[in-house]
Structure 1
Amino acid sequence: MSFTKLVEEYRGGVLENVHYGAVCVVDEKGTVIYRAGHPEHMTFLRSAAKPFQAIPVMKRRIDEVYGLTDAEAALFAASHRGEAFHIEALESILHKTGISEEGLHCCATYPLNEDAKAQRHRAHEPKRRLFHNCSGKHSGLIALSKHMGWDERTYYLPDHPVQQEIIGTLAEIAGVPVSSIPVGIDGCGLPVHALPLRSITLLYLKLACPDLIEDPLTRTAAARMAKLMNDYPDMIADTRFVCSALLKDDNLSAKGGAKGVYGIGLRKERLGISLKVSDGSEQVWPCIIASILERLGYGNKETINRLYELVPNAIVNDGGTPVGERKAVFTWEP
């Protein structure tokens, strides 16, 4: 089978839930050194693709072309949760680039952050495209299209030059033919690509260690995007989410996507990690990632502790009373 048990959850000593999935770890040569489940399991990257979707934007230095701040440019790779500082930066991007909010192909919605959503409801504000967690990515791709003289209205179509550059970038960094990459449509309406877990692991290894990328322009753009993610971690998600918690550690490149997919690169150790939770759960990400880092002997305990603080392994009821526990149960397979 592609999947194995990753996490078990107990309530009152009784097994209540099991989360299956797969984990893959590669070294700097691209060799799978640890795995749980099948490393060739094919999965859509969803928002874990965002740092790589932003590489064509960074190659053209779109942030410099339009005078964006570094914090604003970080949103090109973000799944922002719609906090006030995210929306302020996004409005600034639209103003500086001359892009209209109506030009974004992502739908109008409310913020993913519950407090931010409640604030907008209390103010009787309507849904907005800028509230969508992918609006930073869309803004960057439209700005690139505008700069290159490509049709800004159709930037979301698979045969558009910007989308062709994105799939070419993924193929280049993962070391696979473009023809081998399945294409679907993501929640925000853009093309979304699928790769085996092992290839996703390679993407994140090279994002953390861009010296492994052969093309100098791609290498520089990847390094720049990765640095922005670490310099402005709260822009990538929000103040209480796993991506931002991991990116506070300058040794890590990290980004998750919908339906349980996650990628991490370790700079000093020169390792790549990817995982997929088969039921799509994001709640068990901290448990799994912390366990992986512990098993690898990762030295930054503060990063591991941040993960456990986000989602403790102790399961509590609505009143905060401990009623059970979750634990990572996967073992490394040959």
Structure 2
Amino acid sequence: MTRAPEPMVEIHRGPFVESQHMGHAVICDSTGGIVEAWGDPEAVVLPRSSAKMIQGLPLVMSGAAKAFGLGPDRLALACASHQGAPVHVQALNTWLSELGLGDGDLICGTEASRDKELRFEMIRSDQSPCRVHNNCSGKHSGFLTLTKHLGAGSDYVDPTHPVQKSVREAFEEVTGAESPGYGIDGCSAPNFATTMHGMARAMAFFASAGARGDGMSQAAAQLVEGMIAFPELVAGESRACTHLMRAAKEPVAIKTGAEGYFVAILPQRDMGISLKIADGATRASDCAIAALLVRLGVLDAQDPQVKRFLNPPIKNWDGLVTGEIRPVAGLSGLKTG
């Protein structure tokens, strides 16, 4: 039976709830069982960039990561939706150069840097954005590494390409079900669909991977370790993923995706979280994932890095605080009022 999304985030202005964001969320344990859920666990979703660690599994499982000497920093970049800041651009240009490749070999499209200082600097010096500035260029560098390792053709985003076939196989294995299909992501790669439960199950697989010895589990553990070790490469300054990972009271990998998607991997608890805000609002998904991690005791609600996403103020053009974004009562497990 289909269940409707539930209220998850409210926009307060004065004494009024002005707007409300609905959504779905699932928390799974290492068996794939549901610990808690909101909305419909069987809702079919496109996890978008939240699936990047799954898309990175074949890179490690194939032996390509080892063959090309990819350390945890590059595995973090393979899972990243980065800002295109200098730290990201320099690292990725070096990676591509070591492969004997360049910006033109990426198929992710050009994107202006999301790093404000670099973007303005490029505008002032009349520099055009490159493909390496694209937030998905780390994932694509991973795809190119696997492509070179396999000796496959250059169109690595084609759904029939060996890289994407291996991604789909891994995706269906960790989500526990055949994918009903895919949409083409903003970076031109296929993004496979699953259910909310399937995605939470996959994140729990990653969370508990270190305790298992099979190849896929060991690959998952390496990717998680890279993300946790290099939170600044996974996203960047001002981004929820990076700040919430830094603020966590225990190791945790957190990853956003477009259209209000978020996942979290909790290795010390062997638990995974999937979250989808129905209207796709990032302001709501940032708030809701922070609330769920506060609920579990992973984050401290009073930590300034947490509060900026859990309870961000709303200001008018004169700088006056006129309202607040907050999770619905009970979502964070904290008393309100």
TM-score, normalised relative to structure 2:
0.90
Q: Within the alignment, does 1:124 sit opposite 2:111 as a pair?
A: no
In structure 2, do the counterparts of structure 1 residues 304 and 181 end up closer, same or farther at CA, with 3 Å as the change threshold? farther
Distance 1:280 1:8 in 2: 14
Report how far residue 196 of structure 1 moved: 0.6
- In structure 1, give the amino acid aligned to 2:60: M
In structure 2, do the counterparts of structure 1 residues 305 and 293 end up closer, same or farther at CA, with 3 Å as the change threshold? farther
Other structure's SS at 2:228 match: helix
Report how far residue 198 of structure 1 moved: 0.7
- Following superposition of structure 1 onto structure 2, how do residues 7-18 of structure 1 map, counting pairs within 5 Å? 7-18=9-20
In the alignment, which residue of structure 2 is the partner of 1:294? 294
Indicate if the aligned counterparts of 2:181 and 2:193 stay in contact, CA closer than 8 A.
yes
In the alignment, which residue of structure 2 is the partner of 1:223? 221
In the alignment, which residue of structure 1 is the partner of 2:202? 203
In the alignment, which residue of structure 2 is the partner of 1:234? 232
In structure 2, do the counterparts of structure 1 residues 303 and 212 end up closer, same or farther at CA, with 3 Å as the change threshold? farther
Which deviates further from its counterpart, 313-322 or 183-192? Answer: 313-322
- In structure 2, give the amino acid aligned to 1:108: T
In structure 2, do the counterparts of structure 1 residues 274 and 314 end up closer, same or farther at CA, with 3 Å as the change threshold? same
In the alignment, which residue of structure 2 is the partner of 1:150? 152
Q: Deviation string for 1:180-223 (max 9, x for gaps)?
A: 4321111100001111101111111111211576x711111110
Indicate if the aligned counterparts of 2:241 and 2:256 stay in contact, CA closer than 8 A.
yes
Q: Identity of counterpart residues, as a percentage?
A: 29
Distance 2:122 2:210 in 1: 44
TM-score, normalised relative to structure 1:
0.91
Indicate if the aligned counterparts of 2:75 and 2:227 stay in contact, CA closer than 8 A.
no
Indicate if the aligned counterparts of 1:241 and 1:310 stay in contact, CA closer than 8 A.
no
In structure 2, do the counterparts of structure 1 residues 196 and 212 end up closer, same or farther at CA, with 3 Å as the change threshold? farther
Indicate if the aligned counterparts of 1:67 and 1:96 stay in contact, CA closer than 8 A.
no
Distance 2:28 2:76 in 1: 27
- In structure 1, give the amino acid aligned to 2:279: D
Other structure's SS at 1:130 match: helix
Root-mean-square deviation (CA, aligned residues, Å) is 2.1
Other structure's SS at 1:320 match: coil
Report how far residue 311 of structure 1 moved: 6.0
In structure 2, do the counterparts of structure 1 residues 261 and 62 end up closer, same or farther at CA, with 3 Å as the change threshold? same
In structure 2, do the counterparts of structure 1 residues 168 and 32 end up closer, same or farther at CA, with 3 Å as the change threshold? same
Distance 1:174 1:7 in 2: 27
- Following superposition of structure 1 onto structure 2, how do residues 1-334 of structure 1 map, counting pairs within 5 Å? 1-151=3-153, 153-177=154-178, 180-211=179-210, 216-248=214-246, 249=248, 250-296=250-296, 298=297, 300-301=299-300, 305-310=304-309, 312-329=311-328
Long gaps (5+) in structure 1: none
In structure 2, do the counterparts of structure 1 residues 60 and 303 end up closer, same or farther at CA, with 3 Å as the change threshold? farther
Which deviates further from its counterpart, 32-41 or 156-165? Answer: 32-41
Long gaps (5+) in structure 2: 332-337
Indicate if the aligned counterparts of 2:60 and 2:66 stay in contact, CA closer than 8 A.
no
Moved over 4 A (4+): 302-305
Report how far residue 322 of structure 1 moved: 1.4
- In structure 2, give the amino acid aligned to 1:192: N
